[in-house]
Structure 1
Amino acid sequence: MQINEQARETLLSEVSGLTDEQLNLKPSTDQWSVKQILEHLFLMEAAITKTIQQQIILGDTKTVDEKPIHFTVNRSVKVDAPEFAIPSEAFATLEEMKQKLAASHEGLQNLEKTADKKTLREKAYPHPAFGELSLYQYIPFVGYHEMRHIEQLKEVKAKMN
């Protein structure tokens, strides 16, 4: 969870001081606002946590190689968000988004603390970019995914100025 904690600290630092209007401002029609990036991160973290929980119980035991999940931060490779993680156009406040992110993060933290590490390593779930990914690797993947979107967030903020 170290990468996840580092990413979350950076993320919250990046949005600190933004007004709710700035948060919801889209730099262009085909780009997400900061709020949409935050919502996407919340949706992904919550969905991955739920998937890991389900796979611990229902998933088959399989051996998979460790994948280079650190490449997730490479934004030169375009990846479309899965349908369930596409953010809405609805207005939200920074406080609302922080609460959602705190809740999803707490869920992942609790899962990481309580799940049997052996089970997490012995079970896997398909990832759209990496193929079969161990449940164990899905946890730091969330942090790398967040780091990827922090770079996107910085670009959106730069276009605001």
Structure 2
Amino acid sequence: MEINEKARGELFNEINGLSTESFNKKPSDDEWSIKQIVEHLCLMEGAIAKMIQGKLENGEVVNAEMKPIEAATNRKIKIDAPEFALPGNEFATLEELKTKLNVTHQTLLKIEELADEKELKIKGFPHPVFGQMSLEQWIPFVGYHEMRHILQIKEVKEKLGL
């Protein structure tokens, strides 16, 4: 979870100190606010943790080669968020979402700590871009996915003049 810890630290460095107004402000109608980006990260991490847990308990052995998950940070390649990870338009505070992020992060951390390493290597589920991925690779994928969105947050801050 080294990349995940690094990403979370960088995320908090980018968002700490933002006013509630700035956190919720969209640069344009068709772009996400920083709040929506953070909510998306929370939804993704929670869903991935739940999926990993489910596959550890009931998943089948898959043939998943190592994927170049670091490529997830490339913002030049547009990827639509899955329906379950689309953020809402509701107003939220930075502290509310940081609390939710901490919960999803601790859940993923606990799964990694308690899981059988062999099970993480041999079980998996497909990623929409990378194809079949082992559960072992899904854990650091969360960190790379977060790094991608930290770049997006920096773009939004620049557009908002923050």
TM range (shorter): over 0.9
> Match of 1:112?
112
Query: What is the deviation of 1:64?
Result: 1.4
Amino acid at match of 2:127: H
CA distance in 1, matches of 2:58, 2:80: 27
Amino acid at match of 1:94: L
Give the RMSD, CA atoms, in angstroms.
Answer: 0.5
Query: What is the deviation of 1:52?
Result: 0.3
Amino acid at match of 1:96: E
> Match of 1:99?
99
Query: What is the deviation of 1:57?
Result: 1.2
% identity of equivalent residues: 55
1:76-131 Cα deviation digits (max 9, x unpaired): 11000000000000000010010010000000010111111110000010110100
CA distance in 1, matches of 2:106, 2:56: 18
The 3-state SS of whatever aligns with 2:125 is strand
CA distance in 1, matches of 2:4, 2:91: 26
2:49–2:107 contact (8 Å) kept in structure 1: yes
> Match of 1:31?
31
Figure out how many residues of one structure are paired with residues of the other and give that number. 161
CA distance in 2, matches of 1:34, 1:55: 31
Which runs of no fewer than 5 residues in structure 2 stay unpaired? none
Which runs of no fewer than 5 residues in structure 1 stay unpaired? none
CA distance in 2, matches of 1:11, 1:50: 22
Is the counterpart of residue 44 in structure 1 residue 55 in structure 2? Answer: no
CA distance in 1, matches of 2:57, 2:16: 39
The 3-state SS of whatever aligns with 2:61 is coil
Q: Which runs of 4+ in 1 moved over 2 A?
A: none
Is the counterpart of residue 4 in structure 1 residue 4 in structure 2? Answer: yes
Amino acid at match of 1:115: A
1:17-42 Cα deviation digits (max 9, x unpaired): 10011000000001000000000000
Query: What is the deviation of 1:16?
Result: 1.0
Query: What is the deviation of 1:63?
Result: 2.4
Amino acid at match of 1:133: M
The worse-fitting range, judged by mean Cα deviation, of 55-64 and 21-30 is 55-64
Amino acid at match of 1:128: P
Amino acid at match of 2:152: Q
CA distance in 1, matches of 2:96, 2:69: 30
Query: What is the deviation of 1:160?
Result: 1.0
Amino acid at match of 2:66: E
> Match of 1:122?
122
